[in-house]
Chain A
Amino acid sequence: MYLPKWLHQFGAPKYFYDLSLCISRWAGIICIICFICGLYGGLVLAPADYQQGDSFRIMYIHVPSAWMSLFVYMVMAIAGGIGLIWRIKLAEIVARSSAPIGASFTFLALVTGSIWGKPMWGTWWVWDARLTSELILLFLYLGYIALQSAFEDRRVAARAGAILALVGIVNIPIIHYSVEWWSTLHQGPTITKLDKPSIHLSMLIPLLFMVFAFKTFYISTLLIRVRSEILEYECNTSWVKQLLGINNGIK
């Protein structure tokens, strides 16, 4: 299948290895700045919610991690699909490296949601639609990671994982609607208190900062993982030997 030439160059491991250090550092710096702005805005500047008091401030980590958990799964599936179709090593590596980060975002969304639920609902766990689908998403991530570790050959593992991730991405909307349907039948409208159609600007701006901070955090840590995976994949090529040889010379 046809691919533009620059994309091939971008996908070449050596080229990407050099580029990724720069991107990773800049994303890390932006991430720290956004975190500071978002935390200051969210914890200090934003006024307390008139219904939930100060407990709504958990939102500033719960909402970004819930969004990122889905976003990372999408990235994982799309990168896996690209790796499957065009056999681009880099896409396979991105898909594999995304899984643990996405799983930890999902874990965070679950834990913070549950802690937020304790003062709001009175119990740690409610079979709320969003929490339940988040839990199933965590199972999907764990299944992907388990499948990855079951193979010895990385490339076979990556391609098998890509199929699982693609099946999962078709399944996620179905899971979402089924769980939503199920939970509206089982519970009254008690949770609608949490659904705020409008959000005040002083609360929204820190949230946007936090979302951006989480996104850059993902990019930055993903690239660190990708770099070490590239080294392991490419350990027999001359550029890796040269790179490490030069490191030796400096020492």
Chain B
Amino acid sequence: MALNDFFSMGGYGAYVWSSYGICAVVLLLNVIQPIIRERRTIRELQKRFSLAKENKSDKHS
């Protein structure tokens, strides 16, 4: 039952695993949030540029 021993952590399982869990959640949020933000920025800027281009071509025609 080596795996059981590993998860119980000598009776401290709740403390050890909860802190590792919180750590994993916070670190993952720190990865996901900037990636989402980068995508949103790129999308917004592209939208703005394509709108500007349409406006310009409208004026020329």
Contact = CB atoms under 8 A, between A and B. Distances in A.
Q: Do chains A and B touch in the complex (CB under 8 A)?
A: yes
Identify whether the interface residues of A are mostly helix, strand, loop, or mixed: helix
A115 B48 CA distance: 48
A231 B41 contact: yes
A225 to B, nearest CB: 5
B15 A115 contact: yes
Contacts of B16: 54-55, 57-58
A107 interface: yes
Contacts of B31: 221, 224
B15 A118 contact: yes
Contact of B10 (A53, A112, A241): A53
Contacts of B50: 248
A228 B45 CA distance: 11
A58 B15 contact: yes
Report, nearest first, the 5 A-B pairs whose CB atoms are least far apart: A54-B10, A54-B9, A55-B12, A228-B38, A224-B34
Interface of A: 43-44, 48, 53-55, 57-58, 61-62, 65, 100-101, 104, 107-108, 111-112, 115-116, 118-119, 217, 221, 224-225, 227-228, 231-232, 235, 240-241, 244-245, 247-248
